[in-house]
Amino acid sequence: MSKVRLYQAANSIEANLLSGLLSHCGIAAELRGEALGGAIGELPADLLQIEIWVDEQQLPEAKQQLEQWQQQSSQGNWQCSQCQEQNPASFDQCWQCGHIANRSE
């Protein structure tokens, strides 16, 4: 079975989130990064370019999951009223400054 590249993640956090989501749907995702060598967790996330590879056969399904995920993750974003940082919907607190989300603002 040959592998194809699905997506280039912005950082290792995104890559891990996405590979977790895919494996939850029965899709085996493989992470490939330029800084590989088992040290991904020890490097600053933003220095890494991580690609997500999947089996060719599972690519259509994986793409669907990816699109859904991208839609969801941009829909619920909220902006911190204190530091103006964008936060994903799943966060109740600003990741940047710790300000508690006030979504009615």
Beta carbons of 99 and 93 less than 8 angstroms apart: yes
User: Which stretch in 19-27, 36-44, 51-59, 85-93 sits in contact with Zn ion by CB under 5 A?
Assistant: 85-93
Q: Which of 23, 74, 82, 86 binds Zn ion (CB under 5 A)?
A: 82
Beta strand ranges found along 1-100 (DSSP E): 3-9, 29-33, 50-55, 78-79, 86-87
Residue 99 binds Zn ion, judged by CB under 5 A: yes
Cβ atoms within 10 Å, residue 49: 15
Beta carbons of 43 and 54 less than 8 angstroms apart: no
Residue 86 binds Zn ion, judged by CB under 5 A: no
Q: How many residues bind Zn ion (CB under 5 A)?
A: 8
| Distance from C-alpha of 100 to C-alpha of 21, rounded to nearest angstrom | 26
Residue 93 binds Zn ion, judged by CB under 5 A: no
Interacting positions 62-81 with Zn ion (CB under 5 A): 80
Q: Which of 13, 97, 100, 102 binds Zn ion (CB under 5 A)?
A: 97
Would you tell me which residues interact with Zn ion (CB under 5 A)?
Answer: 80, 82-83, 85, 94, 96-97, 99
